[in-house]
Amino acid sequence: MQHQDGTASDDAPRRRAPGVLQRLRAPLRDSPVARQILLLQVAVVVVLVVGAVALAGLDARRDARAAATERAVAVARAVADSPAVVDAVSLGDPAARIQPYAEQVRVDTGVDFVVVMDLERIRFSHPDPANIGRRFVGDVGQAPQGRVFTQEFTGTLGPSMRAVVPVRAGAGTERPVVAMVAVGITVQAIDRQLRDDLGLIGLAAAVVLGVGLAGAWLVSRRLRRQTHGLGEQEITRMYEYYSAVLHAVREGLLLVDGEGRVQLVNDEARRLLDLPDDVVGRPLEQLGLAPALVAAARDGQASDDDVYLAGERALVVSAAPARWAGREVGAVVTLRDHTELRSVTGELDVVRGLTESLRAQTHEASNRLHTVVSLIEMGRAEEAVAFATEELEVAQRLADSVVEAVGDPVVAALLLGKTTEATERGIELEVTGDLTGSGVASRELVTVLGNLLDNAFDAVTGRSEKRVRLQASVREGTTRVVVGDSGPGLSDADATHALDRGWSTKASNATVPGGGRGVGLALVAQVARRHDGAVEIDRSPLGGARFAVTLRRATVGTPAPVEAP
């Protein structure tokens, strides 16, 4: 920006400064977080060590000067209390007596000067004999009044820490002051001793600095492994994008670590599994999930589109181990709600069953029609009419008996289809009882009857005697359905797991996602629980297994059932 006279404005550099600072900081932000932390730790360690050394140096310097002052005071008092000094002051020519003594004391104590003077500050001794008889340079404070005085002063020998002590004569508490003794240690001598002390401080600081830098490097190395060498902005973007994706996907997502603890869960997974708010960090076993689902998440093997029951929902679960740098770090579990799809699939199975029944009936009807035509061509019209009438009566009696026993056209259609299927498979199916007025939704009855009969048909397949018996009854609002077969039956151990999702005594169908086994009886148990009922498993009079399902009248707001795939 320029003024009208063409000169540059003073605020232009101030506006450009933030841009320059940002350009200077940009490389640091783009560098890996581990490197930033390392540089920060190195800076902190260096500043702390340098600051500590500086403070230690100042403290050592202060202590050295204080110690020198105390030593000067002690030497001065010793000289002042010496009888030789007191006597020499009172005699003539004190310098001749005091100078040798003072020099001897100076040499023995290691101080830089011992000066004895009178009250007029005329020297009787000095390291330089030329200064004897001259006035003492510096303050004496209140030493003439009998007090000890200390100071740092620059005299003839340079800067020094000195002490001035009075010399008293005679005896008693009120002895007069007759002279003064000044003892000093030059700052140069103090600094020589201080340099020796600072050498030890510097050595200790170097050790501390080395340990601090090594620790900072180890922390940075570990942090680099933990952050995979990512920079500050990369980690921020990763967190923001992953968080957005996590909560935006329509599938439930559950991440567990190697010990089976939940580390990440999105909103859909919370809804599908009814997870609490504090789910993160808790083991899967403490969340009340189905054991089979927990086992799938902790199995460590990839599995695709397995069906599990979670409460009232049928979930398609895919699990895959999560690996990084060749090691397993946990598992990723995806969840999809297939409750409605399974319900529609169940209805489709009913239609498929009816279609198969019609196909079988069409095949039988074609055979019977050919028989009737052949009889007519042979001129046996009466036998043809009798044969056709008998077949119609048998089919009508079967349909009438089933419809009358069931009272529900949807369930009746299912049982007619199962009757035809049993005939094709050479199975003797016996249907007795009445379901009129059960109060249970047709779709749920189809789930129970269809799955129990399919299970019974599979159980008797391959047996010499193939018999299945269905008994139904409704009493005081309670519906009871019992299906028995002449199959091999179930052991006590098998009976305890028969209602678990995924459990089956039959080989899995490879053409069906998830195997297609172990779902039907689990769905029957789910319907029973929803109607406050139960499923009992015991030995059938026919020799095989017997499943007895009790259903109480449905209440308002009962959710739609999950049909068998």
Q: What is the per-residue DSSP string for 322-367?
A: EEETTEEEEEEEEEEE-HHHHHHHHHHHHHHHHHHHHHHHHHHHHH
Six-digit token string for 304: 């695709």
pLDDT tier, 515 (very low <50, low <70, confident <90, very high otherwise): very low
Range with lowest mean pLDDT among 232-241, 246-255, 327-336: 232-241
What is the amino acid identity at position 145?
Q
DSSP β-bridge partners for residue 123: 117
Q: Do strands 158-168 and 177-186 pair parallel, antiparallel, or not at all (unpaired)?
A: antiparallel
Give residue 301's pLDDT. Answer: 61
Six-digit token string for 112: 């830089």
- Mean pLDDT value across residues 483-509: 68
Q: What percent of the chain has pLDDT over 70?
A: 70
Give residue 46's pLDDT. Answer: 84
pLDDT tier, 482 (very low <50, low <70, confident <90, very high otherwise): very high
Q: Is a pLDDT exceeding 80 seen at residue 528?
A: yes
Q: Is a pLDDT exceeding 90 seen at residue 349?
A: no
Give residue 484's pLDDT. Answer: 92
Question: Which one, of 98, 191, 117, 96, lies nearest residue 152 by Cα?
Answer: 191
Six-digit token string for 525: 């148990």
Alpha carbon separation from 172 to 168, 169, 175 (Å, rounded): 10, 9, 6
Range with lowest mean pLDDT among 21-35, 245-259, 318-332, 377-391: 21-35
Give residue 495's pLDDT. Answer: 73
pLDDT tier, 488 (very low <50, low <70, confident <90, very high otherwise): confident
Give residue 548's pLDDT. Answer: 92
Distance CA 235, CA 302 (A): 28
Give residue 203's pLDDT. Answer: 80
Six-digit token string for 272: 């599908």
How many CA atoms lie within 13 Å of 519's alpha carbon, on the beta-carbon side? Answer: 26
Question: Which one, of 549, 562, 535, 352, lies nearest residue 444 by Cα?
Answer: 562
What is the amino acid identity at position 31?
S
Question: Which one, of 412, 434, 429, lies nearest residue 485 by Cα?
Answer: 429
Residue with structure tokens 């708010």?
277
Q: Is a pLDDT exceeding 70 seen at residue 564?
A: no
- Mean pLDDT value across residues 128-132: 87
Q: pLDDT by residue (tens digit) across 131-185?
A: 888 888 888 888 888 888 988 888 777 888 888 999 888 765 577 888 899 998 8
Q: Is a pLDDT exceeding 70 seen at residue 81?
A: yes
Mean pLDDT score of the chain:
75
User: Torsions phi, psi of 244, nearest 5?
Assistant: -65, -45
Q: Is a pLDDT exceeding 70 seen at residue 287?
A: yes
Question: Which one, of 79, 120, 68, lies nearest residue 102 by Cα?
Answer: 79
Contact between residue 125 and residue 95 where contact means Cβ atoms under 8 Å apart: yes
User: Torsions phi, psi of 511, nearest 5?
Assistant: -85, -10
Give Cα 362 to chain centroid, integer Å.
63
Give residue 217's pLDDT. Answer: 80
Contact between residue 549 and residue 435 where contact means Cβ atoms under 8 Å apart: no
Give residue 358's pLDDT. Answer: 63
pLDDT tier, 31 (very low <50, low <70, confident <90, very high otherwise): low
Q: Is a pLDDT exceeding 50 seen at residue 558?
A: no
- Mean pLDDT value across residues 281-288: 80
Question: Which one, of 557, 564, 561, lies nearest residue 313 by Cα?
Answer: 561
- Mean pLDDT value across residues 60-75: 85
Higher pLDDT, 90 or 237: 90
Give residue 485's pLDDT. Answer: 92
What does pTM read for this prediction? 0.41
Higher pLDDT, 235 or 206: 206
Angle, vertex CA 354, rays to CA 352 and CA 355, nearest 5: 60
- Mean pLDDT value across residues 45-54: 82
Range with lowest mean pLDDT among 198-207, 279-288, 296-305: 296-305
